[in-house]
Structures are given as structure tokens and as C-alpha cells.
Amino acid sequence: MRVTRTEGLALSGSLRRASYNTAALRACQALAPEDMQIDIGSIADVPLYDADRQAEGYPEAVLRLARQIAEADALLFAMPEYNYSVPGTLKNAIDWVSRLQPNPFAGKPAAIIGASSGMLGTARAQYHLRQIGVYLDLRFLNKPEVMIGHAPERFDASGQLVHEPTRELLGKFLLALREWALWHRR
């Protein structure tokens, strides 16, 4: 069996400096299988979507993000839950990139994780992102699901994931994502 390197692009739906979701993505980088590389992209510079601005040309931040998405073997979204749904910053970035042709999301293997201080750990937001993904033609990994509830108890003050059961779940999740990406590549 030939092992092929898998490169994933991770996007955090939180812009907060001490974001649990960005910290979860850093934990994914550390826990990734040896033949899997996870780069963390940024949506911070993507302006608010405006059709008039689109008519003038796509902003460089949008084009850069679209290139990163197109080049990745898989996408990994990490996001908090705002008002029972997807954070506006992430939805805005998706709205911009989805207007490019060809659609960089189409047929792309993807997965979702989320961390929040609440008990449900972003369950509702993850389901909303899956609904958005249907239109985008994203190919979401179904299991295992990673919804990190009670995040302040799972991460230390420096943002390190210290909860061993969550670390183990992320390890299994990343193995499944790697296999999902390789299956789609075949």
C-alpha cells in the first residue's frame, strides 16, 4: 500500500485571539498523522460581502483563500456557535469564495469540529454548516463528530488542549479525515 501525503486547509470561524476553535485547530496540527499536514488559513481579511464590490473585482484576501481551498486535499472547519448557527465571519467568507467559478468548494472533502463553553459544543452550528455545504457540493465526513463542550475545562490558560479524551477523539477524527480525503482522491 502506498501512503500519500494529505494536505488540509483548516479555517477557524472565530477571530478572537484566545479562540478555543483556533486552539483546537492547533491541537489538530499536533495530533495529525505523520503523512498529513494541516495549514491554518485565515478569514480575518475577507471584507463584508457586497455584490457591488464583487462587480469591481474580487478582493485579494478572497482570491488567496479560494486558491488555498482549491489546492487543499480536504477542508477542516472549526467554529463556535453564535445564536444557534454559523458565525457570520465564516458565512461571509464562504459567500465570497462560493461566487468564484469554478467553485473551489465543489467536490472537496471536508469536516467540522467546534468548541464552545456550552454543553452542546456547537452541534446546531455544525448542522447548519452541513446544510450550507449541500449547496456548495462539499463532501462532509459524517463520523466521528467532534463537538467540544465545556471548552474552558478542556484547554489550559495558554490554549493547549489538555483533556485527554478529547485529544484521543481528535486523533481518531483526523485519521478518518485523512482516509476520507484519500478516498476522494482515488
Split into its structural domains, the chain has a count of: 1
Q: What is the pLDDT of residues 10-55, one digit of tens each?
A: 999 999 999 999 999 999 999 999 999 999 999 999 999 999 999 9
Residues in CB range of 64: below 8 A, 6 or more apart: none
Q: Which domain holds residue 174?
A: 6-185
**23/27 Cα distance (integer angstroms):** 6
Q: State the average pLDDT over residues 131-139.
A: 98
What digits encode the pLDDT tens for the residues 152-180?
Answer: 999 999 999 999 999 999 999 999 999 99
| CB 42, CB 93: distance < 8 Å | no
pLDDT (tens digit, 9 = 90+) per residue, 84-109? Answer: 999 999 999 999 999 999 999 999 99
Tell me, yes or no, whether 1 lies in a domain: no
Establish if 104 belongs to a structural domain. yes
* Cα distance between residue 105 and residue 138, in whole Å: 6
Residue 130: the pLDDT is 98
Q: Phi and psi of 14, rounded to 5°?
A: -115, 135
Residue 142: CB atoms within 10 A of its CB come to 9
pTM (2 d.p.):
0.95
H/E stretch holding 175: helix 164-185
* 79 within domain boundaries: yes
Q: Is residue 136 part of a domain?
A: yes
Residues sharing a CB contact under 8 Å with residue 14, sequence separation 6 or more, in sequence order? 20, 21, 22, 78, 79, 80, 87, 89
Residue 185: predicted pLDDT: 87
CATH assignment at residue 81:
3.40.50.360
